[in-house]
Structure 1
Amino acid sequence: MPARRNFLRVALTLCVTLAGAAAPAVGAEPAAAKAADVEVRYKTAKVGDLDIFYREAGPQDAPAILLLHGFPTSSQMFRNLIPALGDKYRVIAPDYPGYGHSSMPSHEKFKYTFDNLANVIDEFTAQVGLTKYALYVQDYGAPIGYRLASKHPERISAIVVQNGNAYEEGIDNDFWKPVKEYWAAPESKEKRDALRALLTYDATKWQYTEGAKDLELVSPDGAAEDQFLLDRPGNDEIQLDMFLSYGSNPPLYPGWQEYFRKHQPPMLIAWGKNDKIFPAAGAEPYKRDLKTLEFHLLDAGHFALETNGDEIAALMREFLGKHVGSK
């Protein structure tokens, strides 16, 4: 009997120890939601004559996050991030006009500029009831998001920047040379046509794979879907108009930087340091203007979510938990 009691005592101690090791600390925030536990909805809002497609997840009364995509993609770039945040946040990711599953009027009927796209997304936020929200900006999402933030600083609770530029240092590289030549000669068909190479599948795939730490982590589905939509008749002219309109952004950089200095939005930078389009040189200047800044250079390329999605989601949950709260 003593041997049996001793065995039971040891077994009970082992069970208690294992249970304590497996249990999370009281109040601990999980690194990310289980995707299976988060329902993502695919919806459309009417903005004027445009149908704006968007993905949404999370409680309606939770703090909101507006995810703004880049080129040449759409809200599909957030397909894994949305369920990773949707347990604690109301997450909304729209497609701009001409992108993804939103309306695509011809460039003769709709002026494809960053000003216009920002106006559409501004109206979209009103349609879906966003009065206070955190921004996630990447690539084209940055000049669109910073237009919104500068216009409505009271609405912005925090900003997450993933390879989104607001400084001259971020576009002082070889990638931008032919684009800048087009800005300098907007009437030149030769300069415009020279940029068509950026609309090919090889170029789209390059954006996903260049600088990625492990190509086996990059799903081919992202580039394939993007290219399918780029190849729609007339979309090439839309994209070329947007390349030209990007030249409207650098003159606004000083105003955006003043917004950072004056309003000091809490900012998380999670930047793919191997990006050949927006290199890490564009991330560093944010340190000059932001006091509440968490800064991370990731071993990733332009589409860092493809390879470092779990890492970015964990950084966001910790950062937003401190500065925005959660459901």
Structure 2
Amino acid sequence: MMVNAPVSAAAEIVDSTTHYHTVKIGGVDVFYREAGPANAPVVLLLHGFPTSSHMFRNLIPALADRYHVIAPDYPGFGESAAPDHTKFAYTFANYADLVDGLLGRLGANNYAMYVMDYGAPVGYRLALKHPERVTALIVQNGNAYEEGLKEFWDPIKAYWADGSAAHRTALSFLVTPAITKFQYTDGVADVSRIDPDNWGHDQVLLDRPGNKDIQLDLFHDYGSNVPLYPKFQAFFRERKPPMLIVWGKNDKIFPADGAGPYLRDLPGAELHLLDTGHFALEDKLDEMVPLIRDFLDRKVVTN
């Protein structure tokens, strides 16, 4: 007769199912994905343009066995509300406040952050608000140094300079299907690894009535992040958060010129330049997950 042996606590299966929620923060419906044990160390995933927490759909289950993973959509992106741009301030400061409010609602008092593209200034603004709460940083094509703002940014800088209607209109190409697809495929050696549902998913949301103005407001407000770069850098030097940099080196939007300067302020940061483009998780997940898990397991205390 066979007797089933008791299952040890170490052998218990952890539920890594992703759950999808919407809560009202600051009067706005904010959508977020959540997975992993509620009492585990928090890993906050902050997405870039023009996508949403959808960009983390494959990473979340790869971390959720040991970490409490939270991935919000900013207003105007993904499944979060998209109030009219004349009635809601689409600014990075506002985004940081809303993410802060969400974390407070969820009782997340300490967190590692994965920041990418727009997620970098959102996350770094959050770090300035609560420097003691940041346990580690994973940086993927997210800028904090002026060296990283190359030719791609010239028309956007022109808009920062005068805020003119002409320069605003000139940026409309950035929300077109061709550019959305470009962000996923440019710099990728094997495009067959990129799911075309990505740009199809993003473009439908970009094409919602009023969303172009939301994005144009954000292009202008991105200029407000640059004067904060010295403060972001001071945070790195003073708080010395463990940092893993996993950067698509072929990205024309946030080129590798922006990756190396992090080492000036955090010489101990771990830098990996990957042979891919802007959305590195799409074709380099198999390389990135072991790097990310190893980093978190070494640098963030787990239960």
Deviations 1:147-173 (A, max 9, x none): 0111101110000000000000000x2
| Alignment partner of 2:202 out of 201, 214, 226 | 226
* Pairing 1:183–2:163 present: no
Q: Percent identity?
A: 60
Q: What is the TM-score with the length of structure 2 in the denominator?
A: 0.94
User: CA contact under 8 A between 1:45 and 1:127: conserved in structure 2?
Assistant: no
1:52-63 matches, within 5 Å, as: 52-63=30-41
| Residue in structure 2 matched with residue 287 of structure 1 by the alignment | 263
Q: Secondary structure at the match of 2:276?
A: coil
CA distance in 1, matches of 2:33, 2:55: 11
| Residue in structure 1 matched with residue 229 of structure 2 by the alignment | 253
| Residue in structure 2 matched with residue 199 of structure 1 by the alignment | 175
User: CA contact under 8 A between 2:15 and 2:37: conserved in structure 1?
Assistant: no
> In the TM superposition, what is the alpha-carbon distance from 1:189 to its structure 2 partner?
1.2
CA distance in 2, matches of 1:93, 1:203: 24
User: CA contact under 8 A between 2:17 and 2:35: conserved in structure 1?
Assistant: yes
CA distance in 1, matches of 2:186, 2:131: 35
CA distance in 2, matches of 1:325, 1:271: 25
Flag structure 2 segments of 5+ consecutive residues without an equivalent. Answer: 1-12
Deviations 1:37-96 (A, max 9, x none): 621101112202111100011000111100000000000000100011111110010000
Q: Secondary structure at the match of 1:182?
A: helix
> In the TM superposition, what is the alpha-carbon distance from 1:211 to its structure 2 partner?
0.6
Give the total of aligned pairs: 291
CA distance in 2, matches of 1:95, 1:293: 28
Q: Secondary structure at the match of 2:65?
A: coil
1:67-82 matches, within 5 Å, as: 67-82=45-60
> In the TM superposition, what is the alpha-carbon distance from 1:291 to its structure 2 partner?
3.7
**Paired amino acid for 1:56:** E
* Pairing 1:50–2:28 present: yes
> In the TM superposition, what is the alpha-carbon distance from 1:292 to its structure 2 partner?
3.0
* Pairing 1:158–2:142 present: no
Structure (1 or 2) with the larger CA radius of gyration:
1
1:46-195 matches, within 5 Å, as: 46-171=24-149, 173-186=150-163, 188-195=164-171
* Pairing 1:297–2:273 present: yes
Q: Secondary structure at the match of 1:91?
A: strand
Deviations 1:93-140 (A, max 9, x none): 000011100011000100111111111111111011110000000000
CA distance in 1, matches of 2:258, 2:146: 7
1:236-251 matches, within 5 Å, as: 236-251=212-227
* Pairing 1:262–2:262 present: no
CA distance in 1, matches of 2:133, 2:23: 20
CA distance in 2, matches of 1:127, 1:259: 25
CA distance in 2, matches of 1:48, 1:241: 19
Q: Secondary structure at the match of 1:306?
A: helix
Q: Secondary structure at the match of 1:43?
A: strand
Deviations 1:253-306 (A, max 9, x none): 001000000000000000000000000000000000014311100011000000
CA distance in 2, matches of 1:80, 1:325: 23
User: CA contact under 8 A between 1:270 and 1:298: conserved in structure 2?
Assistant: yes
| Residue in structure 2 matched with residue 317 of structure 1 by the alignment | 293
Flag structure 1 segments of 5+ consecutive residues without an equivalent. Answer: 1-33
CA distance in 2, matches of 1:324, 1:89: 10
Q: Secondary structure at the match of 1:103?
A: coil
CA distance in 1, matches of 2:128, 2:26: 23
